[in-house]
Chains A and B, each alone.
Chain A
Amino acid sequence: MAPRIGVYVCHCGGNISEVVDIQKVMESLEGPVDVVQIKDHEHICSEVGQKLILNDIKENKLDRVVIAACSPQFQGITFMKTMEHAGLSPYVLEMANIREQCSWPHYDYPQEATKKAIDLTKMSLAKARLDIPLEKKVIPIGKRVLIIGGGIAGIQAALDLGDAGFQVYLVEKDPSIGGKMAQLSKTFPTEDCAACILSPKMADVPNNPNIKLMTSTEVKDISGYIGNYQVTVTRKALYVDPDKCTCCDKCVEACPVTVPNEYDEGLTTRKAIYLPSPIAVPHSYILDDKTCLGLFPLACSKCKEVCEPNAIDYDVYPTEEKFTVDTIIVATGFDIYDARQKRVYGLGKYENVFNALEMERMLAYAGEGKPLKDIGNRIAFIQCVGSRDEQVEHEYCSRVCCMYATKLACLLNRERPGKEIYIFYTDLRAYGKGFEEYYKRAQSEGIKYIRGRVAEILEDPKTKKLTLRAEDTLSRKIIESEFNTVVLSVGLIPNEGTRHVAGLLGLSRSQDGFLKEAHLKFRPVDTLIEGVFLAGTVQGPKDIPDSVAQAGAASSRAISLMNKGVYEAEPITAQIDESICIGCGMCADVCAYKAIEITVVDAHTGKKTAVVNEFLCKGCGTCAATCRSGAADVIGVSDHQISKMIEVM
């Protein structure tokens, strides 16, 4: 029986009709008997347009629909829902993209654009004739979530999901959760103490019965698909039993090894056995086996000798743990740009040049009344170090540096009056809520903002004072001035952990190296892998409010998937014709989603064939293009359909 096809051509309120001659397009489609009706509409995506399609399907008994309008990425889902309402399979709908791929780029050539629109629509028509009414595949989905990264974004997502009754596995590679926020002195623009607002949240995590917190743990492997992700984690040996440790600090006094303290960015020392930070959660000492004098053979054991509760055990080893989750939230955060690569600024060479995170730590100590160092009265901040800099291939703006420099300047200024603080900036970006007011307030407090990049810093070898040379681009004057301390406002960069996790999950990355979202505007926390979401700075530089908001968004997206109990997967997947397949394995090699396995189907003859895991397959078609024997094909976008599309061109 011949199909009954309805064609709709959209004007898109002039977006298409101003360039493409809609009438001509419609006329060109007339003729074939299976094209039952051809209609145009001002906005076919509007409610009126959708109702028109619904009515036509009922009255004219249509079983195929072709819509010539915008990109299916944009409105495809809208029309697929319309098809479902009408009782048809959403996979007998074809969309010809005559806006993004025709009227917009060929604005100056209306005649040619009309020709192209006709071709595109005819191709969709040819494909529609061979469409199969596919049904969505249903996967059962439970209520377990893996959150990778225990910074503020990971903590927020874990608490949101835990409170909603979902089983959360929160994995953090460091010995304590809290991330970079735990290192900050205060937060802009309200100047809340970072530790004071973060530590209650951190304390909530182990208290929540639905959250399983795994610190000092790294994700080793992830396989599977939405609703069935198999996760393997490696838990480092801690050597100190957190349940027995009373935090009496005697082991620290006994330990002979001193190393730079990571929590203080190397500005202070710690021992090989130590408390990760004063606000650490879980609050327990740990032994750093990399800097300890040695456990194999045991070299020292002074800490164990003084430990009264007998909490230290050297005879423990890293363990592996496996569990299954349904969805994953990636919140692996960022790293700061290593400003030693910008040699002109002298970090790593001059002792009075600091990066901003070091200054945060120094201010935190000064706030407690225990200053680490006298930083003098004349202080300069240099903005955009490692951001907006094509020389180091970081073209993006890190979004937080203008405001954290302003905050640090205000705090320094208030700490002891009589300071002169200059901020050398490229452009000042005070875009967020309360930011502009904060910037104005900083100016009124006497912070001087100078527009211009610093060319060079020179150190006086005797006094250790620093001479800055810069151009004030507003007054067009060369400034050469001496400062006691220079702070580099370093940008945010993607970290090593993100790369590792992206590799495990097959997540794509943007040009800047941060992880890429499914759609910048409409799906900002989703990824192209089903059931994997992004939260916080892993997706791009963000301040704390944005990270928290995104964590909330990611958890709500995860909840909306899991709450239904079932997940409907796309039916457009690869299929293998076993009678043709010779089991050469080329398709399995090229599959980006690891969805194809080569298995022996006949033990007697040893015949091998490729088998597609239809839940992992995304229907990208790489296997079909690679297959030499023509055994691999994609259901719904078959080779036969594509040949027919080319024929009508």
Chain B
Amino acid sequence: MKNAASKYWRIPLDADRVKTPKGKIHILKERCKGCGFCIEYCPRDVLEFSDEFNEKAYHPPRVKDEKLCLCCHLCELVCPEYAIWSTEEKDEELHHP
């Protein structure tokens, strides 16, 4: 519900009937060089820097709230190290937008 006007506080009454794609994010922590492109460009603000260090002493990203991911693949397009990608969950489970 990013950027939605704060005027509408209610969870829409038809929200359980609306299907949105559900993404799963895969991160290869050891490849990450901590450039932060995926965090910066994610349109749904799904990612953030983690506190942990990888072998190269960078902070790899971690998923804040995977429910928000709509599997747009933008993170995988911008990652210079091919360290992150998303796949669409094909189960027919519905979830709230």
A residues near B (Cβ < 8 Å) are: 256-262, 265-269, 290-291, 293-294, 297, 299-300, 338, 340, 348, 351, 372-373
**In contact, B72 and A267 (Cβ under 8 angstroms):** no
Q: A373 CA to B12 CA in the complex, in Å?
A: 11
Q: A373 CA to B10 CA in the complex, in Å?
A: 13
**In contact, B8 and A290 (Cβ under 8 angstroms):** no
Closest-CB distance, A493 to chain B (whole angstroms): 13
* CB-contact partner of B70 in A257, A290, A351, under 8 A: A257
**In contact, A372 and B14 (Cβ under 8 angstroms):** yes
User: Which residues from 5 to 20 on chain B have a C-beta closer than 8 Å to any C-beta of chain A?
Assistant: 5, 7-10, 12-15, 18, 20
**In contact, A338 and B70 (Cβ under 8 angstroms):** no
**In contact, A268 and B74 (Cβ under 8 angstroms):** no
Residues of A within 8 A of B3 (CB): 259, 290-291
**In contact, B18 and A293 (Cβ under 8 angstroms):** no
Residues of B within 8 A of A265 (CB): 8
Task: Output the nearest chain B residue to A290 by Cβ-Cβ distance.
Answer: B3
Residues of A within 8 A of B1 (CB): 259-260
Is B21 interfacial (CB 8 A cutoff)? yes
**In contact, B71 and A340 (Cβ under 8 angstroms):** no
- A291-B4, A293-B72, A294-B74 known; A260 vs B44 contact (CB < 8 Å): no
Number of residue pairs A-B, CB distance < 8 angstroms: 74
Residues of A within 8 A of B34 (CB): none
Residue pairs across A and B with Cβ atoms less than 8 A apart, 18 shown, are A256-B20, A257-B20, A259-B3, A259-B4, A259-B97, A260-B12, A265-B8, A266-B7, A267-B14, A268-B12, A269-B14, A290-B3, A291-B4, A297-B78, A299-B41, A300-B43, A338-B7, A348-B9
Is B90 interfacial (CB 8 A cutoff)? no
Residues of A within 8 A of B10 (CB): 260, 266-267, 351
**In contact, A266 and B72 (Cβ under 8 angstroms):** no
User: Which residue, B1, B8, B15, has most C-beta atoms of chain A within 10 A?
Assistant: B8
Q: A260 CA to B14 CA in the complex, in Å?
A: 10
Cβ-closest 10 pairs across A and B:
A266-B8, A258-B97, A260-B8, A293-B43, A256-B70, A294-B43, A372-B13, A299-B74, A269-B12, A268-B14
Residues of B within 8 A of A300 (CB): 43, 70, 72, 74
Residues of B within 8 A of A297 (CB): 41, 74, 78
**In contact, A293 and B70 (Cβ under 8 angstroms):** yes
**In contact, B72 and A260 (Cβ under 8 angstroms):** no
Residues of B within 8 A of A257 (CB): 20, 70, 97
**In contact, A260 and B43 (Cβ under 8 angstroms):** no
Q: A75 CA to B54 CA in the complex, in Å?
A: 87
Q: A338 CA to B70 CA in the complex, in Å?
A: 32
Closest-CB distance, B54 to chain A (whole angstroms): 26
Closest-CB distance, A343 to chain B (whole angstroms): 13
Q: A300 CA to B20 CA in the complex, in Å?
A: 14
Closest-CB distance, B97 to chain A (whole angstroms): 4
Closest-CB distance, B3 to chain A (whole angstroms): 5
Q: A421 CA to B42 CA in the complex, in Å?
A: 49
User: Which residues from 62 to 93 on chain B have a C-beta closer than 8 Å to any C-beta of chain A?
Assistant: 70-72, 74, 78
Q: A257 CA to B71 CA in the complex, in Å?
A: 11
**In contact, A260 and B4 (Cβ under 8 angstroms):** yes
Q: A267 CA to B7 CA in the complex, in Å?
A: 12
Q: A297 CA to B77 CA in the complex, in Å?
A: 11
Q: A interface, by DSSP: helix, strand, loop or mixed?
A: loop
**In contact, A293 and B74 (Cβ under 8 angstroms):** yes
**In contact, B71 and A256 (Cβ under 8 angstroms):** yes
Q: A489 CA to B8 CA in the complex, in Å?
A: 17
User: Which residues from 26 to 76 on chain B have a C-beta closer than 8 Å to any C-beta of chain A?
Assistant: 41, 43-44, 70-72, 74
Closest-CB distance, A277 to chain B (whole angstroms): 16
Other than the given A257-B70, A268-B12, A300-B70, 5 more pairs (CB < 8 A) read A256-B21, A260-B8, A269-B14, A299-B72, A300-B43
Q: A338 CA to B18 CA in the complex, in Å?
A: 27
User: Which residue, A290, A293, A372, has most C-beta atoms of chain B within 10 A?
Assistant: A293
Closest-CB distance, B77 to chain A (whole angstroms): 8
Residues of A within 8 A of B71 (CB): 256
Q: A265 CA to B13 CA in the complex, in Å?
A: 11
Q: A379 CA to B4 CA in the complex, in Å?
A: 30
Q: A261 CA to B12 CA in the complex, in Å?
A: 8
Closest-CB distance, B12 to chain A (whole angstroms): 5
Q: A521 CA to B72 CA in the complex, in Å?
A: 60
Task: Output the nearest chain B residue to A354 by Cβ-Cβ distance.
Answer: B10
Task: Output the nearest chain A residue to B44 by Cβ-Cβ distance.
Answer: A293
Task: Output the nearest chain A residue to B19 by Cβ-Cβ distance.
Answer: A258
Q: A340 CA to B8 CA in the complex, in Å?
A: 11
**In contact, B5 and A340 (Cβ under 8 angstroms):** no
Task: Output the nearest chain A residue to B8 by Cβ-Cβ distance.
Answer: A266
Q: A212 CA to B5 CA in the complex, in Å?
A: 30
Closest-CB distance, A362 to chain B (whole angstroms): 8
Residues of A within 8 A of B13 (CB): 267-268, 372-373
Residues of B within 8 A of A258 (CB): 12, 15, 18, 20, 97
Q: A433 CA to B33 CA in the complex, in Å?
A: 74
**In contact, B43 and A266 (Cβ under 8 angstroms):** no
Q: A258 CA to B7 CA in the complex, in Å?
A: 16
Residues of B within 8 A of A262 (CB): 5, 8
Residues of A within 8 A of B43 (CB): 293-294, 299-300
Closest-CB distance, A293 to chain B (whole angstroms): 4
Q: A256 CA to B2 CA in the complex, in Å?
A: 13
User: Which residue, A257, A268, A372, A373, has most C-beta atoms of chain B within 10 A?
Assistant: A257
Closest-CB distance, A339 to chain B (whole angstroms): 11
Task: Output the nearest chain A residue to B9 by Cβ-Cβ distance.
Answer: A348
Closest-CB distance, A637 to chain B (whole angstroms): 49
Residues of B within 8 A of A372 (CB): 13-14
Task: Output the nearest chain B residue to A348 by Cβ-Cβ distance.
Answer: B9
Q: A266 CA to B13 CA in the complex, in Å?
A: 9
Q: A300 CA to B73 CA in the complex, in Å?
A: 8
Residues of A within 8 A of B15 (CB): 258, 269
User: Which residue, B4, B9, B13, B14, has most C-beta atoms of chain A within 10 A?
Assistant: B13
Residues of A within 8 A of B18 (CB): 258, 269
